[in-house]
Amino acid sequence: MTTERVFGQMPDGRDVPLLTIGTAPGPVVEVLALGATVHRLEVTGGDGQRRNVVLGHPDGAERLASGDYIGGTIGRYANRIAGGRFVLDGREVTVGAHDRGNSLHGGPDGFDVRLWDVVSHGPDEVVLSLTSPDGDQGFPGTVEVTVACRVVGDSVSVEMVAATDATTVVNLTNHSYLNLDGEGAGTIDDHLLVVEADDYTPVDATGIPLGEHAPVDSTPFDFREAAPLGPAIRGEHPQVVDARGIDHNYVVRGEGLRRAAVLESPRTRTRVELWSDQPGLQVYTGNFLDGTRRSTGGGRYRQGDGIALEPQLFPDSPNRPEWPSAVLQPGEAYRSRIEWRCRGTAI
C-alpha cells in the first residue's frame, strides 16, 4: 500500500502532501510533509479492532494555528532552553523565547510548522528533508535534516539525522500524542505506563531544571512498574501541580537503542513499547490541551486526552555542561532513533 494525496495548502499556496505507509493488519501510518508529522497511526488492538491511536488535526490551517506540536518533528532544540540563551564557543547565542521567557521546541517557528521536502516514498518508508538556514530562530549554522519513517512488521521507526556547516546545538524528537483507546476516546487516566528510569528532572514553574536529577522513589513519577496515569497526574505533588500533570524529563537507564517506556490500555488491550537511543524521555500528559483546537475525529482535545513520550537530550542541556552534550560540529552526524513496537495483548 502506498498512497499520496494533498492534505491542504500552506499560507503561500504550496500543497501539503500526505503520505501513507504500511499495510493492515500491521501498523499503517499517515505522514504529513507539514512538520514531518505523524498524522495517523492505525494499529490492531488485542480486542481485534483497528484504531487510530495518535492525536491529529483535521487540516493544515488548524495544524499551523495549534501550539500543541501534535505529531510534529521538533527542532532545532526539543524542550526548553532557559531564557533563550546559552554560550557556544565562547559567545552568547540568543534564540527565540516564547514559553514563559524560555525557548521551547526550537522557537515560535520551529521545524513542526515547516513544509518539508519529500525525498522518497514507498510502500513501507517515507523520507523527508529540511534545510534550516544559518540564524534560523537565532541558532548558528546551516543544518540539513532528514527524517525517515518506516514500518517493519509490527514496528514503526522514526530516524532523524542532521549535519551542520558550523558549530551549533541540535536536539530532535517526535511529538506524537498517544491514546491507545483511540483518537478522541477521552483521557489516558486508565492507561498503564512503565518508564525505564530511576531518576527524573525536577523543574521550576517555567519548566527549567532546578538542578540535579532526583530519584522517582516515593513520588508520582515512579513508573518503574506499570501504574495507571490518573492517580499520578491528578495528585497534589508540587511538581505535578505546577505542571498541571507530568511534563518532566526521565533519565533512561542504559545506552544505545533500548526500551524506554511501555504504554498499555487495559480497555482495548493495546500495547506500545517505545524504544530509543536517547539519554532522556520527556513525558507530557497533554496538560495544556484546552479544547481550543479541532481534532481529526471532529471533536476537541482537552487536558489528558493523550500522552507524548518524547525521546531526547535533557532540557536546557546547552546550559548544563555536566549533561550529555547537544553540540554538533561540522563533519559530525546527529542521529536519533525512535521505535514504536505495537502489539495487541491477551485477555
Active site residues: 175, 310
- Spatial contact of 7 and 16, defined as CB atoms under 8 Å apart: yes
Query: Rounded to 10 degrees, what is the CA torsion of 304, 310, 315, 318?
Result: -150
What whole-number distance in Å separates Cα of residue 162 and Cα of residue 221? 32
Which one-letter DSSP state was computed for residue 54? B
- Exposed e or buried b per residue across 184-217, where buried means at least 16 C-beta atoms within 10 angstroms of its C-beta: bbebbeebbbbbbbebbbbbeeebbbeeebeebe
Which one-letter DSSP state was computed for residue 330? T
What whole-number distance in Å separates Cα of residue 89 and Cα of residue 132? 20
Torsion angles phi and psi, residue 65, rounded to 5: -80, -20
What ranges in 229-285 are assigned the alpha helix state H? 229-233, 238-243
In sequence order, the β-bridge partners of residue 120 are: 127
Q: Closest Cα partner for 104 from 60, 63, 67?
A: 67
Q: Return the C-alpha cell found at 164.
A: 551542520
Q: Return the C-alpha cell found at 229.
A: 496515569
Dihedral class, residue 90 (left if φ above 0, else alpha if ψ from -120 to 50, else beta)? left
Q: Closest Cα partner for 125 from 98, 101, 155?
A: 155
